Structure 1
Amino acid sequence: MNSNIRREIPADYKKVEEVTREAFWNLYCPGCNEHLIIHKMRNHSDLIPELSFVIELDEEIVGSIFYTHSKVIAEDGTEYPSITFGPVSILPQYQRKGLGRALISYSIKVAKELGYKAILIGGYPYHYHTYGFKGTKTYNITMPDGQFYKGIMALPLYEGALDNVSGSLFFSDVFETDAEELEVFDKKFPSKEKKVKKSQKEFEMASMELDE
């Protein structure tokens, strides 16, 4: 497969939202909200536009990745900037073919070149350990509730980038959506059936798993 990675442009917006909706539909909950998150990101101050990428096959968009600013706040109030990627989307029929890996690897390389310090994310550890991500307990970085979770991971973008950094991790508020807002937005897309699936319970359990 000949794939091409490039920056997202405004002409891509609707297609990227459609691809994202297909990629996440019924995966983590009945329906999904990731297409709305992306829609809101584009006008949010936390978006990092130079790290908004799409991946194409035969000039057709089949996936995307987005980055936002995040931060670690120490007990004394000191703020340490970080960045976060997600959602990462690949159309279901093209998953497990290396396209997601290509997109993530490419964006990490660009983030390094742009001088960013560290990437902090939430997700399944087995997806991200291969890129060098480790649980944030390694770096004494908790979530705001003071807990360490196995699914919260960090990748320093240069040696020592997270030395002497500790505190609580705060992701952008762009990830927060409400049900009414989502219902209105989703009406702009073709109707799809919402279903309860095994993957949703697995995600719920994984997201609560403490790193002890």
Structure 2
Amino acid sequence: MNILIRNEEQKDYRRVEEIARDAFWNLYFPGAHEHYVIHKMREHKDIIKELTFVIEIDGKIEGAIFYTHSKIIGKNKKEYKTISFGPVFISPEYHRKGFGRKLITYSIDEAKKLGYSIITTLGYPYHYKPYGFLGGKKYGISMPDMNYYTGLLVLPLYEDALDGILGYAEFSDCFEVSPEEVDEFDKIFPHKEKKVQESQEEYEKACAQLDELEYSEK
């Protein structure tokens, strides 16, 4: 099996959007919007193209990861630069075979080489703790409502990267899309049925779950 991770190119756009649509369809809510988020993100000021990667398996793209600029707003209103990844996805037929791990690990290493210092993301803790991510609460970083949620995850890329930084995480507005926009964009893809399924209820609960862990001092 030949595996190649490289930067996304324009010729890859449609294939990447198709994979994203398949990977997320009905996962978090009926339908999906990640394929449109990606489409919009590529022209957004916050995209980090140097950290946008696809993974090829035997010459065919089967996954991708996207990074955007983000920040932490300190209690003194000072802004601290961070980067964030998402969406990250693999074709359903290659799920749970380690390809997502390869993509994430590779991108984190590249982020370090480029001199970035802090990665923030949103997701299930068990997905990202193996890479060193911990809850924002560990570092005194909340969401804008000042609550610490289990789904806000932070990774300092070098020791002391978060020293003196307390505040809340703010992500790019490129993720803000309307259902109407998504439905219109979705018309260019083959029809897929929207369904309600158990994973959607799990996701809703996870989004609202507060971090009750007791962390050692930052």
Aligned positions, number: 212
Q: State the alpha-carbon separation in 1 of the partners of residues 2 and 96 from structure 2.
A: 15
Q: Does 1:172 align with 2:172?
A: yes
The AA in structure 2 aligned to 1:63 is G
Structure 2: any 5+ residue segments left out of the alignment?
213-218
Per the alignment, in what secondary structure is the counterpart of residue 196 of structure 2?
coil
State yes or no: 1:122 paired with 2:153: no
1:44-59 matches, within 5 Å, as 44-59=44-59
- RMSD over equivalenced CA pairs, Å: 0.6
Distance in 2 (alpha carbons) for counterparts of 1:18 and 1:191: 12
Q: Is the 8 A contact 2:2 2:59 kept in 1?
A: no
List runs of 5+ in structure 1 lacking aligned partners. Answer: none
- Could you tell me how far 1:166 is from its partner in structure 2? 0.8
Q: CA deviation at 1:77?
A: 1.1
Separation (CA, whole Å) in 2 of partners of 1:81 and 1:45: 14
The 8 Å contact of residues 134 and 155 in structure 2, kept in 1 or not, is answered as yes
Shift of 1:12: 0.3
In the TM superposition, what whole-angstrom CA distance separates every residue of 1:162-186 from its partner, at most 9, and x where no partner exists? 1111111100000111011011000
Query: Which runs of structure 2 are paired with 1:91-170 in the superposition (5 Å)?
Result: 91-170=91-170
**Deviation sequence 1:50-101 (CA, Å, 0-9, x none):** 0000001111100000000010001211000000000001011100000000
Q: Deviations over 1:111-168 (max 9, x none)?
A: 0000001100000000000000000001100100010001101000011101111111
Deviation of 1:2 after TM superposition, in Å, equals: 2.3
Instruction: Report SS of the residue matched to 2:54.
Output: strand
Q: Tell me how far apart the structure 2 counterparts of residues 2 and 198 of structure 1 sit (CA, whole Å).
A: 35
How many angstroms apart in 1 are the aligned matches of 2:92 and 2:157?
A: 30
Q: What TM-score, normalized by structure 1, do the two folds share? A: 0.99
Per-residue CA deviation, residues 18-57 of structure 1 (Å, 9 max, x unaligned), is 0100110000010000000000110000000000000011
Post-superposition CA distance 1:167-206 (Å, at most 9, x none)? 1110000011101101100001000000001000001101
TM-score (norm 2): 0.96
- Residues 11-90 of structure 1: pairs in structure 2 closer than 5 A: 11-90=11-90
Q: Distance in 2 between matches of 1:24 and 1:154?
A: 23
2:6 is matched with 6
Mapped partners of 1:74, 1:5: distance in 2: 35
